[in-house]
Amino acid sequence: MTRIFSGVKPTGHLTLGNYLGAVRRWTEVDQHAADALFCVVDLHALTVDHDPARVRRLSRQAATLLLAAGLDPALCTVFVQSHVDEHARLSYLLECVATDGEMRRMIQYKEKSVRERARGGSVRLSLLTYPVLMAADILAYGTDDVPVGDDQTQHVELARDLAVRFNQRYGHTFVVPRAVRPQVAARVMSLQDPLAKMGKSEDVGPGIVYLLDEPDAVRKKVARAVTDSGRDVVYDREERPGVANLLEILAACTDGEPEKLAAAYESYGALKRDVAEAVVEVLRPVRERHRELCADPGYLEGVLRAGAERAREVARPRVDAAYRAIGLLPAG
């Protein structure tokens, strides 16, 4: 059976980008079609300046939102990365296979390290090695498919390279994974800056729709979305990125196609109204279920405990095999 692994980082509130780019597919397709594991990758949240209480809160919220969005613990495994030691154990071995040049070429490292330095902060070593930990997340589970948004492609490529290199040097140990991206909304852009990704860790408030936004907040944000000069509605990512982003969001929310949808609109105003209502409808059940789940914290704890147990069972034999293959003495 195909094995699927993916994750979300608790560095901010989950966004419409996370949902349309990744989480929705996990709920609608992946959990039904494969042995799927979904992880709140809290170790990754420590790679930039962080507040411990906030990371804890956001980790709990992210896990709750994954269930609210429709992940069903009877169909898939939902867990928290730091509850399963195998991630950190394997990450170190992969650091011994990866090179520092590979790490420095990662686009997200370049962008985030520049941002950290511009804020006057220092760059944590873990930000540089972030993609290795991510490779460990993926490879520990013998993952075939990694359903992610566009921005994670380079990281999944690295996981592939490390799997191939490890296998060649030390004997076949890892499955070589591949990234799976959605057809539309693989990169949802900020409503305020359609050239920048709608990202939960980036601080551009009104450009980001959060999964827990109230309907009126969604309507306001969409109404204020930056559009392009020119009045006709056409789908052109290069020349009309603002309108293209709105069309992609609408297409993703209504199972439509951006080009066809464009032909149905004569004004930006009408398009924005429909986008807002489509987003409100997509988010409504998620918000409602989130409220119910928050009333029963014991349920979440049980799900995460069982999830971590299953994840450990899957990961441990492969990580143990990697330890032996690379030349480490078994503990006996």
Catalytic residues: 112, 197, 200
Contact 156, 138 (CB under 8 A): yes
Residues 6+ apart with CB under 8 A from 57: none
CA distance 296 to 102: 44
Work out which of 58, 84, 127, 138 binds ligand TYM, going by CB under 6 A: 138
Work out which of 24, 44, 221, 310 binds ligand TYM, going by CB under 6 A: 44
The torsion of the CA quartet 295, 298, 300, 302, rounded to 10 degrees, works out to -160
Closer to ligand TYM by CB, 140 or 276: give it: 140
Residues 6+ apart with CB under 8 A from 66: 8, 23, 26, 38, 40, 78
> Which residues, numbered 95-134, are part of the site for ligand TYM (CB under 6 A)?
134
Q: Single out the residue of 36, 11, 7 nearest to residue 134, CA to CA.
A: 7
Is 260 within any annotated ligand binding site?
Answer: no
Work out which of 34, 40, 41, 90 binds ligand TYM, going by CB under 6 A: 41
Residues in the interface with ligand TYM (CB under 6 A) total 27
Closer to ligand TYM by CB, 109 or 235: give it: 109
Closer to ligand TYM by CB, 7 or 194: give it: 7
Work out which of 25, 187, 219, 240 binds ligand TYM, going by CB under 6 A: 187
CA distance 289 to 306: 21
Is 85 within any annotated ligand binding site?
Answer: no
Is 254 within any annotated ligand binding site?
Answer: no
From the CB of 6, what's the least distance to ligand TYM, in Å?
Answer: 4
> Which residues, numbered 155-174, are part of the site for ligand TYM (CB under 6 A)?
155
Is 9 within any annotated ligand binding site?
Answer: yes
Residues 6+ apart with CB under 8 A from 329: none
CA distance 332 to 323: 13
Is 134 within any annotated ligand binding site?
Answer: no
Work out which of 63, 84, 146, 286 binds ligand TYM, going by CB under 6 A: 146
Instruction: Report CA-CA distances (Å) from 221 to 81, 170, 208, 244, 303.
Output: 33, 52, 8, 16, 34
Q: Which residue number is nearest to ligand TYM in terms of Cβ? A: 21
Distance of alpha carbon 66 from the chain centroid = 11
If one asks whether residue 5 binds ligand TYM (CB under 6 A), the answer comes out as yes
From the CB of 330, what's the least distance to ligand TYM, in Å?
Answer: 28
As a residue count, the chain comes to: 332
DSSP state string for 62-77: HHHHHHHHT--TTTSE
From the CB of 8, what's the least distance to ligand TYM, in Å?
Answer: 4
User: How many Cα atoms are found within 13 Å in the side-chain-facing hemisphere of 48?
Assistant: 19
Give the range of 15-23, 260-268, 276-284, 292-300 binding ligand TYM by CB under 6 A: 15-23
Q: Single out the residue of 75, 53, 67, 50 nearest to residue 8, CA to CA.
A: 67
Work out which of 34, 76, 97, 188 binds ligand TYM, going by CB under 6 A: 188
| 297, two tokens | 């914290």
> Which residues, numbered 192-221, are part of the site for ligand TYM (CB under 6 A)?
197-199
The annotation places the binding site for L-tryptophan at 137
For the annotated binding site for ATP, the residues are 9-11, 17-18, 149-151, 188, 197-201
User: Which residues in this chain contact ligand TYM in the complex, by CB under 6 A?
Assistant: 5-9, 17-18, 21-22, 41, 44, 134, 137-138, 146, 148-149, 151-152, 155, 185-188, 197-199
